[in-house]
């Protein structure tokens, strides 16, 4: 990253010249580079948001699309800068046709509906064309934006939200869109306040984007995606204690008692030939509902025994009663 506090402004001015290039890919990369500078050099955020607002007003589809995507990331990191970009968002909604750009603008409408005066009326034409929208990602974002707008401006959005939910549930063939519409509908049906708490939960300001990670480290972490590596942002070897091979298992001690002493019942797990610890058998009450059932000792068994238990014939399930969906979705 060559840009810093002293050089960022000059670099942004140079990159802005490439935005209207005939080569579409160069223009896209220039806009992304401008956004990257704003993320890494916070002092330039106000200047760059203003520059992106000017780009959003250009009547060029790919420029507005890239500017909208970058603007979405910037207002996640610098939410206080959105006010100066709100006017430009309204102007470019009719221009953007690419799914990424539409999704970014819909997210902005949902998050900042109170600051955009005509937000419900900007969303309504998109809702009218919901079934003609080919992108599932745009349809999902449209559902979320409509529900969020409903919570902050209910009189203006209620009817269009009911129409949108009805189309998504009854007519849409995209499984993810239909499932999300059902989720929102049922949440609203049970408790609008609870639905608002779930859907409009406050978000933390983004401090670091995934793209900012070191490339080699990111590749190593994603190789272990099903582990805690993605949480710690480190390879597993950095936070798993290894003593030879195989791994040494350790048991976390319980919290200390009131006097600060560790209970005497805590003991380190035994090791077998330097391998993993062997769990001790524990008494289990066979009568889970009470009534004086007997206690048996359950110990860890071999893998074959566990598989036998897993593949045991299950009890026959009772047939589920069919559920009906009211035709009037919003009452």
Q: Give me the mean pLDDT over the 276-301 stretch.
A: 43
Task: Answer whether residue 103 is part of any domain.
Answer: yes
Single out the residue in 28, 46, 80 at which a domain terminates. 80
116/59 same-domain check: no
How far is the C-alpha of 16 from the C-alpha of 35, rounded, in Å?
11
Regarding whether 76 and 50 lie in a shared domain, the answer is yes
Which residues are registered as beta bridge partners of 282? 298
Residue 129 placed within a domain? yes
Domain match, 159 and 111 both: yes
pLDDT at position 170:
92
Residue 114 domain flag: yes
Could you tell me the two tokens for 305? Answer: 């025994």
Q: Are residues 28 and 75 in the same domain?
A: yes
- Tell me the residue length of the chain: 331
What percent of the chain has pLDDT above 90? 23
Closest CA to 186 of 204, 203, 198, 172: 198
Structural domain of residue 28, as residue ranges?
1-80
Query: Does residue 323 have a pLDDT over 50?
Result: no
What DSSP string describes 181-246? HHHHHHHHHH-HHHHHHHHT---PPP---GGGS-HHHHHHHHHTTTTTHHHHTS-GGGTS---SSS
pLDDT at position 275 is 45
Check if the beta carbon of residue 50 is closer than 8 Å to that of residue 84: yes
pLDDT at 145: 94
What whole-number percentage of the chain has pLDDT above 70? Answer: 64
Among 154, 180, 208, give the residue marking a domain's end.
208
- Residue 73 and residue 107 in contact, taking contact as beta carbons nearer than 8 Å: no
Beta bridge partners of 277: 271
45-93: pLDDT as tens digits: 888 888 888 887 777 888 888 888 888 888 888 888 787 777 777 777 8
Same domain, 68 and 138: no
Q: What is the DSSP letter of 313?
A: P
- HSE of 89 in the Cβ direction (CA atoms, 13 Å)? 31
Asked if the structure places residue 226 within a domain, the reply is yes
User: Residues with Cβ < 8 Å from 154, sequence gap 6 or more?
Assistant: none
Buried b (16+ CB within 10 A) or exposed e, 250-265: eeeeeeeeeeeeeeee
Same-domain check for residues 200 and 224: no
158 in the same domain as 145? yes
Longest dimension (CA), the chain: 82
Comparing CA positions, the residue from 140, 127, 131 lying closest to residue 172 is: 131
Based on the domain organization, do 187 and 109 belong to the same domain? yes
Q: CA-CA distance, 161 to 175, in Å (whole number)?
A: 19
If asked whether residues 103 and 35 sit together in one domain, one would say no
Q: What does pTM read for this prediction?
A: 0.63
pLDDT digits (tens, 9 = 90+) for 175-224: 999 999 999 999 999 999 999 999 988 777 666 555 555 667 667 766 77
Whether residue 251 lies inside any domain: the answer is no
- Rounded Cα distance between 13 and 270, Å, is 66
What is the predicted pLDDT for the residue at 143? 95
Strands (E), the chain: 282-285, 295-298
pLDDT value at position 179?
A: 95
Domain total in the chain: 3
Q: Examine residue 125 and state whether it is found in any structural domain, yes or no.
A: yes
In a domain, 301, yes or no: no
Q: Do 60 and 130 fall into the same domain? A: no
End position of a domain, from candidates 208, 231, 263: 208
Q: Are 198 and 178 in contact (CB under 8 A)?
A: no
Compute the mean pLDDT over every residue in the chain, rounded to the nearest whole number. Answer: 74
Average pLDDT rounded to a whole number, residues 248-277: 50
Q: Examine the domain organization and report whether 106 and 68 are in the same domain.
A: no
Q: Are residues 102 and 138 in the same domain?
A: yes
Asked whether residue 307 is assigned to any structural domain, the reply reads no
Provide the 10 A C-beta neighbour count for residue 64: 28
What's the rounded Cα separation, in Å, for the pair 35 and 44?
A: 10
Contact 30, 21 (CB under 8 A): yes
Per-residue pLDDT band for 135 (boundaries 50, 70, 90) equals very high
> Up-side HSE of residue 77: CA atoms within 13 Å toward CB?
22
């Amino acid at each position: 990253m060559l840009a810093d506090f002293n050089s960022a402004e000059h670099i942004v001015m140079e990159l802005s010249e490439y935005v209207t290039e005939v080569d579409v890919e160069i223009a896209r990369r220039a806009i992304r580079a401008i956004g990257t500078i704003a993320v890494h050099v916070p002092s330039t955020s106000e200047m760059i948001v203003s520059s992106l607002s000017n780009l959003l007003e250009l009547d060029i589809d790919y420029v507005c699309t890239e500017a909208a995507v970058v603007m979405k990331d910037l207002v996640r990191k610098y939410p206080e800068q959105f006010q100066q970009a709100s006017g430009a968002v309204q102007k470019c909604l009719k221009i953007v046709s690419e799914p990424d750009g539409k999704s970014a603008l819909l997210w902005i409408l949902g998050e900042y509906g109170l600051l955009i005066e005509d937000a419900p009326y900007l969303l309504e034409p998109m809702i009218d064309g919901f079934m003609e929208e080919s992108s599932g990602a745009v349809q999902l974002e449209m559902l979320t934006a409509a529900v969020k707008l409903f919570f902050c401006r209910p009189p203006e959005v209620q009817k269009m939200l009911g129409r949108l939910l009805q189309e998504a549930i009854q007519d849409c063939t995209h499984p993810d869109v239909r499932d999300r519409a059902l989720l929102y509908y049922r949440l609203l049906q049970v408790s609008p306040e609870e639905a608002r708490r779930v859907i409009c939960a406050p978000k933390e300001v983004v401090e670091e984007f995934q793209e900012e990670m070191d490339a080699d480290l990111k590749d190593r972490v994603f190789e272990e995606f099903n582990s805690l590596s993605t949480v710690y942002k480190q390879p597993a070897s950095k936070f798993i204690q290894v003593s030879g091979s195989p791994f040494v298992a350790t048991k976390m001690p319980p919290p200390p008692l009131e006097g600060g002493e560790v209970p005497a019942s805590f003991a380190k797990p035994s090791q077998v030939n330097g391998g993993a610890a062997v769990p001790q058998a524990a008494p289990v009450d066979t009568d889970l509902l009470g009534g004086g059932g007997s206690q048996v000792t359950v110990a860890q068994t071999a893998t074959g025994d566990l598989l036998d238990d897993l593949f045991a014939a299950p009890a026959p399930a009772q047939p589920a009663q069919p559920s009906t969906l009211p035709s009037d979705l919003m009452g």
